[in-house]
Amino acid sequence: MSSKKNQEKSIPKTRLGRFGQIARLAGGVAAGMIGEGAKQLGQGKRPKVSDLLLTPANARKVANQLATMRGAAMKVGQLLSMETSDFLPPELADILAQLRNRAFIMPRAQLIDSLVKAYGEDWQAKFQHFEFEPLAAASIGQVHRAVTLDGQDIVLKIQYPGVAKSIDSDVDNIATLFKVTRILPKHMDITDLLKDAKLQLHEEANYLQEADYLEAFRSALDGQKNYVIPKHYPELSTERILAMDFLNGEPIESLGELDPSLVDNLMTAMFELTFKELFELRLMQTDANFANYLFQHDTHKIALLDFGASRRFSKRFAIDYKRLLRAVAAGDSAAIVLAADNLGYKASEASTEYQEFLVAVFSIALEPFSKPGLYDFKTGQLSDRLSQLSQDGYSFKEFWQTPPTDILYLHRKLGGMYMLATRLGARVNTHALASPYLEKLAL
């Protein structure tokens, strides 16, 4: 395990400084290509340019630099890892996957500078205690525990310096890097993904907006027995710092030793929340990172911790997704293609073979909601089956596209729920949970 000192890295704050990181990364990738090419030529091989680009060493350079920069640069890497990994070369997918749970922490000097800018030189006078060692670090900011003057145990989510101002340039620089180095396959058009990433990241970087989402979820889930949401402290919150209750609990992914019936109930509550978010609130916390959920043993409640990646869905999108679920449940291939069209896949413009491939993908991906009775996520092996099927996707490169943006974020959440249910060995009657919403199209 790395020491704290090794985990600390100063964050480049200026646009020029962050561009310099990207330029050095491009140079490093190029140097890696030259070195690997010389090595293979010395062995009597004639390597392809694509083979030199996608070496584990070059992919590692990309992942490490994105983690160092944090912010939009790291988030783009995470999105590519989570949403397109089945279509990436294994070397790149494996390394980018590290970004899901990886981030360096701010040096103390940068941390104190952020606190001074938010609260003034006497920032410590606002707290009985402030813990300099962060509880967690992610792509946008890190979390510190503190005690208010009246004794409330809270956490402060503190944004990395320069992140908000660098979003547009970071995303543009990353797009340029991918284009120049050809680190992604030619058929992958991530233009729409990057455009939406800018909008989403600007919202995530505004902690006052996240506070509004937090309050919306507190209001919507008030009185429900399965969930607890932290209280917001507006007097200690700014656009770059969010103050909330500290909530105790055990990391949700570590609960495999619990009584199986308790695990099943836990995951039932998680899927109930997902359907409520999509079809009732049309507001979803789309980041299914396991660290965003804690289980409280004394109350059997799930603590919901992070609302920065919340996304609103239109009424039309929710209805169109109902159509897709109903088509999959009915096993109606033509209706699946039509529903995919309505959601933005342009499926009907593709070949019959590609339509059949897309139907197969949706049929597996949404299988838990189409099969009556308890669904065993461990034996369902959804991830393995989708990964195996995705190999056929290379036969349809001319039709393949990054998913429509709303689908991308929704499936990010569903994929996280599947992964958690599989890890815990949960069995959930997801069909019964979905059925009341699918009985009629109206919301």
pLDDT tens by residue, 42-79: 444 443 434 434 455 555 555 555 555 455 555 665 55
| Cα 114 from Cα 110, distance rounded (Å) | 6
DSSP code string of 1-23: ---HHHHB-PPP-SHHHHHHHHH
Q: Does residue 433 carry a pLDDT above 90?
A: yes
* pLDDT on residue 241: 97
* pLDDT on residue 31: 41
Catalytic residue from among 196, 264, 287, 306: 287
- Among the ranges given (101-105, 134-138, 239-243, 258-262), the one the predictor scored with the smallest mean pLDDT: 101-105
Q: Does residue 325 carry a pLDDT above 80?
A: yes
What residues have CB less than 8 Å from 42, skipping those under 6 apart?
A: none
Backbone dihedral angles phi then psi of residue 93, each to the nearest 5 degrees: -60, -40
Question: Using 50, 70 and 90 to split pLDDT, how confident is the model at 162?
Answer: confident
Q: Is 320 a catalytic residue?
A: no
| Cα 271 from Cα 436, distance rounded (Å) | 13
| Cα 358 from Cα 348, distance rounded (Å) | 11
pTM over 0.85: no
- Among the ranges given (265-279, 311-325, 412-426), the one the predictor scored with the smallest mean pLDDT: 412-426
Q: Classify residue 433 as exposed, middle or buried by CB count within 10 Å of its CB (0-12, 13-18, 19+).
A: middle
| Cα 85 from Cα 80, distance rounded (Å) | 7
What residues have CB less than 8 Å from 230, skipping those under 6 apart?
A: 155, 214, 244, 245, 246, 247, 303, 305
Q: Could you tell me where in the chain the CATH 3.30.200.20 domains are found?
A: 107-159+206-246
* pLDDT on residue 235: 96
- Among the ranges given (103-112, 155-164, 207-216, 222-231), the one the predictor scored with the smallest mean pLDDT: 103-112
* pLDDT on residue 50: 42
* pLDDT on residue 345: 84
Domain over 107-159+206-246 is classified CATH 3.50.50.60:
no
* pLDDT on residue 71: 52
